[in-house]
């Protein structure tokens, strides 16, 4: 009877250890999700502020050049700035598509830890 009690205690300890490992991995996953959420929030905030001020400076610069060349080449200046903004928009769109196609690194640490756990728990020959 003592042998079966020892076996049951050993199984309980092993199950407890596995639950602790699972809890640790879930906490790591949760931390990674929170870090990614904060990073994306910061990127959106800083990106929005940067776009606001870049947009304002572009509008003011365009108005400056149109007023500067009002008497001689105002249509040429407006056409040139329109072409410039269109090309810049195409380049930004291309960069956005490239970034969107890249694989996300979200959960990479968790997956690596789970792979280590699986290797550690695998039977040895």
Give the predicted TM-score (pTM) of the model: 0.51
Number of domains the chain is built from: 1
Sign of the dihedral defined by the CA atoms of residues 81, 82, 87, 89, in that order: positive
pLDDT tens for 34-85 read 888 888 889 989 989 998 998 899 899 899 999 998 999 989 999 998 899 9
**Structural domain for 43, as ranges:** 2-121
Of the candidates 101, 111, 125, which has an alpha carbon nearest to the alpha carbon of residue 32?
A: 111
Statement: residue 1 has pLDDT above 60: no
Tell me if 111 sits within 8 A of 28, measured CB to CB.
Answer: no
Q: What is the dihedral of CA 91, 93, 96, 97, to 10 degrees?
A: -110
């Amino acid at each position: 009877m003592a042998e079966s009690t020892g076996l049951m205690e050993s199984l309980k300890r092993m199950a407890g250890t596995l639950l602790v490992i699972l809890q640790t991995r879930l906490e790591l996953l949760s931390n990674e999700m929170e870090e990614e959420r904060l990073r994306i929030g910061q990127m959106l905030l800083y990106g929005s502020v940067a776009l606001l001020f870049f947009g304002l400076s572009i509008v003011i610069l365009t108005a400056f050049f149109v007023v500067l060349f009002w008497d001689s080449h105002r249509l040429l200046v407006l056409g040139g700035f329109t072409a410039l903004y269109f090309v810049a928009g195409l380049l930004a769109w291309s960069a956005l598509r490239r970034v969107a196609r890249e694989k996300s690194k979200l959960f990479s640490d968790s997956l690596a830890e789970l792979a280590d756990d699986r290797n550690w728990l695998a039977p040895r020959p």
